[in-house]
Structure 1
């Protein structure tokens, strides 16, 4: 079976990183958050906004009680 040396290196680095935190996921997560905060890069939220989903699907329940039901249009 073919073994990619780049993939092997990534696995080795990941294992060393995990071992440095004694495989504690909370500690790893805290470290990654710290690195992200210190990195200085802008974090962008790409999650959908309910209003956009509602606009195209016609589901008013996603945007709140004040929304008008657009699925029953009068002509």
Structure 2
């Protein structure tokens, strides 16, 4: 089976990084958060907006008392 050298290198780097924290997910997460805050880059949340229907199911969620008018607006 053919192996991609770049993917293999990424796997080796990831393995070494995890090993440096003794595979402790909490420590890895803390380190990533620290690097994120030190980077100076703006971090944005891509979470769903409240009050929208789900795209595929068409079910209305988090609409409060305005569910009927939202159903008429949904595609």
TM over 0.5, shorter chain? yes
SS in structure 2 opposite 1:50?
Answer: coil
Deviation at 1:48, TM superposition (A): 1.8
* Residues 58 and 22 of structure 1, relative CA distance in 2, 3 Å threshold: closer
- For these two proteins, the number of residue pairs brought into alignment is 67
Instruction: Quote the residue 2:15 is aligned against.
Output: 15
RMSD of aligned residue pairs (Cα, Å): 2.2
2:2 aligns to what SS in structure 1? coil
- Cα distance, 1:63 vs structure 2: 3.5
Q: 5+ unaligned residues in a row in structure 2: which ranges?
A: none
User: How far apart, in 1, do the equivalents of 2:21 and 2:59 lie?
Assistant: 48
Q: Which runs of 5+ in 1 are unaligned?
A: none
Higher-Rg member (1/2)? 1
Which is helix-richer, 1 or 2? Answer: 1
Q: Compared with structure 1, are the counterparts of its residues 58 and 25 closer, same or farther at alpha carbon in structure 2 (3 Å cutoff)?
A: closer
Moved over 4 A (4+): none
